[in-house]
Amino acid sequence: MNEQETSEAAHTQPRHYIGGQFSDTGTSFDVIHPADGSVVGCAPEADAATVDAAVQAARAALLGPWGQSSVEERCALLRAIADGIEARFDEFVAAEVADTGKPESLARSVDIPRSIETFRAYADLAWARSERAFTTPTPDGAGALNYTVHRPRGVVAIVAPWNLPLLLLSLKVAPALVTGNAIVAKPSELTPTSATMLAEVIHDCGLVEGAFNVVHGFGGGSAGAHLTSHPDIDAVAFTGDSGTGRAIMGAAAEQLTPVSFELGGKNPALVFADADFDAAVEGTVRSAFTNAGQICLCTERVYVERPIFDDFVAALADRAKNLSVGRPYDADTWMGPLASADHRSKVLGYYRLAEQEGAKIHAGGGVPVFGDERDSGFFVDPTVITGLSRDARTVREEIFGPICHVAPFDDEATAVELANESAFGLAASLWTSSLSRAHRVAPRLQNGIVWVNCWNLRDHRTPFGGLKASGIGREGGEYSLDFFSEPVNVCVKL
């Protein structure tokens, strides 16, 4: 790391936050900077007793003043949290860059602004939330009034991933807090710093002790498993890979604990011959290679109508070859490294598998060589391939890296069939100048989100989530508020 990165990232070291107190109890583990493999910090691993202390602190907060808090107070809290993150904007950017290795420009334009926006958006949504009321006839003619109120789920476990650490944590913390729950959050062991910083901001806002807690550690056999299987957890919200989701669901099933899962994707893009060619190419560059392909919404399967197929592949490969891959703080860096050595090994394994399955590599397929400290980081090339069969593992399995397979189609029905031929169903992109085709095709795609002539445009009020192996439930707007609260009907005889 250069001096700028080291000094800015050194402000906060990951710590547990339990019952309003910070601690580093437990065996420590290193936090690695993916751009050069250097150690940027260390975090404590929570054992079962530490996790239990966090859960009990959360339960005590619910039984105390936090359980009596009003919507007005909770909305004001969320706005204060947003202000607190904004006041430490550069520190949060530096923490995300140090932990993830992503370009500073990406953290500055996406991760931190959208996290701030999330807290403000849910304050607005909760304040405007309306309850339903009905008048009901009764035999005596006096009638009755039925109305609905919402109570919090209780103590909720939030398990966040490493690709967008603060943003994806915020997307769960904000609605959970504003609906009155007490939280125990576990960030990824790869990216623990911003969760501790969020705890610092919340602490400074004066939140009731125990209403928000953070524990650090790993998944199976560690803090994650201790938390999601804890008998005093009332709901689990998780973003991550489908395999981990299955394990969490198994643990939750023992107690019938409600779950909200945003899981993996093998997302398709459909490019029709009448699309704006340049816009479709640039949109696919973004959807395939942003954050080194490490976003659940990224495109790994691209289907292009045959008349423009060759030109599209050539243009996409040319853009991939010319993307600037490098240091997070270099002004021209467009793509950074993968998150860890293990993840790079996985992605490179798929690069080799693609070759074995007969893929033609048009761009990338390996590891860039820099001749400096970056060679100790976890970089891979942005990669464009063609020529694989529909049942090839590279086409069917989620890779979560900067690689996409491009295949031709001849008609609309085949395009839809190819797009839906997946165990996943998170997001799809559709590129066409035909409004009627867009409205005809989009509802036929088996995905929770379909973008037309764009990618990753989000509105906090809309549902976010996937079908099939891509998740259970929806996040966003009323959907998140509904998950983190229980409706209670009150019937009053008049």
- Residue-wise pLDDT tens digits, 219-233: 999 999 999 999 999
CB proximity list for 246: less than 8 A, separation 6 or greater = none
Interior/surface letters 250-271, b for 16+ CB within 10 angstroms, e for the rest: ebbeeeebbbbbbbbbbbbbbb
Instruction: Answer for the pair 403, 383: CB distance below 8 angstroms, yes or no.
Output: yes
Using CA atoms, how far apart are residues 287 and 298, in angstroms rounded to an integer?
5
Using CA atoms, how far apart are residues 193 and 161, in angstroms rounded to an integer?
13
* C-alpha closest to that of 45 among 178, 222, 201: 222
Q: Which of 8, 45, 91, 262 is catalytic?
A: 262
| φ, ψ at 411 (rounded to 5°) | -155, 165
The sheet with strand 485-493 has its strands ordered as: 133-136, 144-152, 485-493
Catalytic (active site) residue 486:
no
pLDDT band at 238 (very low <50, low <70, confident <90, very high): very high
Using CA atoms, how far apart are residues 343 and 407, in angstroms rounded to an integer?
26
Q: Could you give all domains of the chain from N- to C-terminal order, each with its CATH number?
A: 3-263+470-493 (3.40.605.10), 267-459 (3.40.309.10)
pLDDT digits (tens, 9 = 90+) for 144-159: 999 999 999 999 999 9
pLDDT band at 7 (very low <50, low <70, confident <90, very high): very low
Structural element, H or E, at residue 9: helix 3-9
Using CA atoms, how far apart are residues 265 and 295, in angstroms rounded to an integer?
9
The token pair that represents 401 in the structure block: 């890296």
Torsion sign over Cα 267, 271, 276, 280: positive
Q: What is the mean pLDDT of residues 303-332?
A: 98
> Is residue 451 helix, strand or coil?
strand
Query: Is residue 9's pLDDT more than 70?
Result: no
Q: Which of 75, 296, 298, 404 is catalytic?
A: 296
Neighbours of 212 (CB within 10 A): 31
pLDDT band at 12 (very low <50, low <70, confident <90, very high): confident
Residue with tokens 């806002």: 205
For residue 329, give Cα distances in angstroms to 3, 91, 104, 380, 389: 11, 14, 5, 18, 40
pTM of the model: 0.95
Positions of E strands within 62-141: 133-136
Neighbours of 211 (CB within 10 A): 26
CB proximity list for 380: less than 8 A, separation 6 or greater = 292, 337, 338, 344, 347, 348, 351, 364, 366, 367, 368, 401, 402
CB proximity list for 314: less than 8 A, separation 6 or greater = 362
What is the helix, strand, coil percentage profile of the chain, to 5? Answer: 40, 20, 35
Helices (H), 371-472: 393-396, 412-420, 435-441
pLDDT at 489: 96
pLDDT at 131: 86
Helix and strand element counts for the chain (H, E): 17, 22
Query: Is residue 2's pLDDT more than 70?
Result: no
The token pair that represents 36 in the structure block: 């050069």
CB proximity list for 473: less than 8 A, separation 6 or greater = 259, 260, 261, 465, 479, 483
Catalytic (active site) residue 262:
yes
Query: Is residue 213's pLDDT more than 60?
Result: yes
pLDDT at 30: 97
